[in-house]
Amino acid sequence: MSAVPRWSHRDPVEGSNPFPVGDARRDRWDEATADALAALRRYDDGIAASVSTNLTSESYVRRWLDLATMRFDTWCRRGLAVVDGTAAQRGYAAWLETYVANWRAYVAETCPHVAPNIRRELDARLSACAVNWTGEACRLVSSTRGEPAADARPGPHL
């Protein structure tokens, strides 16, 4: 699956639902996609309602970091909806790694004037989120088998 970062609400997985008709994951993907789009709209509505004419450079940076992290987390949550076994868990973990790397490149391309320390902060946030989502996938798969999630690590819930 593709992992194309976007500032907009466009789906990072290009094309339509990647699961064929009749696959149980197809409906879960569609439902999770609708939830993701609703979450993005709510977040953007909240930003619009709280826009201040007195934005400082610090508050702008904080909002920028929060926006990117929220976009990232929203689509990662959607991907978790179709993790239903060990193979899917491994595929999801690989997708997360690709998505972090693609965000890094996307920010370099679309925001070339962002200071290196702010880029590092974003990279650290997204990497921590990816670790968290990988742990969530591990716990999910382990819980369906009734096993403890040995390699699950707690992470930030942004």
- Taking only the tens place, the pLDDT of each residue in 95-141 is 999 999 999 999 999 999 999 999 999 999 999 999 999 999 999 99
CA distance 74 to 34: 11
pLDDT-based confidence at 56, cuts 50/70/90? confident
Section 49-65 average pLDDT: 85
What is the rounded distance in angstroms from the CA atom of residue 39 to the CA atom of residue 143?
Answer: 26
What letter does residue 154 receive in the DSSP assignment? Answer: -
* Strand, coil or helix: 66: helix
Q: Could you tell me the pTM of the whole model?
A: 0.86
DSSP class of 19:
S
Query: Which element (helix H / strand E) includes 40?
Result: helix 24-49
Residue 129: both structure tokens together: 């989120």
**Cα→Cα distances 133→24, 71, 139, 152, Å:** 21, 14, 10, 10
Distance separating alpha carbons of residues 133 and 76, to the nearest angstrom = 7
Tell how many helices (H) and how many strands (E) occur in the chain.
4, 0
Q: What is the pLDDT of residue 147?
A: 52
In the structure encoding, which two tokens stand for residue 88, read together? Answer: 């899917």
What is the percentage of the chain residues whose pLDDT exceeds 70?
Answer: 91
Q: Is the pLDDT of residue 154 over 60?
A: no
- What is the maximum span of the chain, computed from C-alpha positions, in angstroms? 53
For residue 44, pLDDT over 80 is answered with yes
What's the rounded mean pLDDT across residues 11-22? Answer: 92
